[in-house]
Amino acid sequence: MTKNKLVSPFLKWVGGKRQTLPAIIELMPKKIASYTYIEPFVGGGAVLFHLQPKKAIINDYNKELINVYTVIKNKLKELIEDLQQHKNEPEYFYQIRLLDRTEAFKHLTDVQRASRIIYLNKTCYNGLYRVNNAGEFNAPFGRYKNPNIINEPTLKAVNNYLISNDIEIQNGDYKDILTKATKNSFVYLDPPYDPVSESSNFTGYIQGGWNFTDQVRLKQACDELNSRGIKFLLSNSATNLIKDLYKDYDIHIIKANRSINSDGEKRGEVEEVLIKNYADKK
């Protein structure tokens, strides 16, 4: 299958998988193209856009993120037109950022909401989507000289991919998405990571965050997939909790560079795990 290299993430997302893609792809079944690909925590979509499956179900709990996917698929022309009006200025940035704290936010169109997320992502500090516990965007202005707010080639390529293939876009709880899986499905799970320390507990892309109970609930969902004979691959941090939870599965330790710590000296190479429930690569 010929892949379009322009089909790539249009947002920078916490825990993006571009750098760990080789390890992830290496562990996937060789005949991945014959499966319905399911990704319940799609995030920035690095794995999806690398694989470019013809049939997929993608989901994320973040409704603003999923709205961007949906608008790129269905209303690309209007989105590009709206993106053209944005300014790379701090006063304007904070006006746009403030919208989700006002009544006016409820009256934005889906195109305006998608345009806002892309604009904030391209111009905020570190290009990082981050919300507080109330679900309000709170990353500061990035002061970049010439941010690529309208990455038209990528947006057009993603639009073409989404409309040319059988890609179902959902916004809900991952467990609801997993009920759609069959033995002809392959599930890749990239949930909010278990924090390696209190200070690294960065789950700011989901309102309310994730905790120990959520990790246990996800493990139970994986057990259910396994009992139904459905193949899954899961990414997470290499904490004792995760390694103990999944000790009955095939655990691979990989290295990844992470740069979301506010302390620059604490950024760098960390261990992550890739966990799968299948031995073969057929």
List the one residue out of 207, 201, 202 whose CA is nearest residue 60: 207
Q: Give CA–CA dist 58/72, Å, rounded.
A: 14
Q: Tokens representing 182?
A: 């069959």
Residue type, 210: W
Report pLDDT for 202. 47
N-to-C CA span, the chain: 18
**What is the dihedral angle through the alpha carbons of 12, 99, 147, 19, rounded to the nearest 10 degrees?**
-10
Residue ranges per domain, the chain?
Answer: 21-62+155-276, 69-152
Residue 268's pLDDT is 67
Q: Nearest to residue 276, comparing CAs of 256, 249, 246, 248?
A: 249
By three-state DSSP, how is residue 187 classified? strand
Residue with tokens 């300014």: 87
Please give the average per-residue pLDDT across 181-190, as a whole number.
97
- Work out the average pLDDT over 10-31: 89
Q: What average pLDDT does the segment 89-117 reach?
A: 97
Phi, psi (deg, nearest 5) at residue 225: -60, -45
Looking at every residue in the chain, the average pLDDT score rounds to 91
Which residues pair with residue 250 across a beta bridge?
276
Q: Is the pLDDT confidence value at 281 over 70?
A: no
Largest separation between any pair of C-alpha atoms in the chain? 55
Per-residue model confidence (pLDDT) at position 124: 96
Q: Which of the four CATH numbers 3.30.360.10, 3.40.50.300, 3.40.50.150, 3.40.50.620 does domain 21-62+155-276 have?
A: 3.40.50.150
What residues contact residue 228 under an 8 Å CB cut-off, 6+ apart? Answer: 181, 183
Q: What percent of the chain has pLDDT over 90?
A: 79
Q: Give the confidence band of 265 by pLDDT, cuts at 50, 70, 90.
A: very low
Cβ neighbors of 153 (< 8 A, separation 6 or more) are 6
CATH assignment, 69-152: 1.10.1020.10
Residue 17: other Cβ atoms inside 10 A: 22
pLDDT tens for 192-234 read: 999 887 655 444 555 556 889 999 999 999 999 999 999 999 9
Question: What is the spatial distance between Cα 86 and Cα 166, in angstroms, rounded to a whole number?
Answer: 32
Q: How far apart are CA 184 and CA 165, in angstroms?
A: 17
Q: Specify the pLDDT at position 128.
A: 83
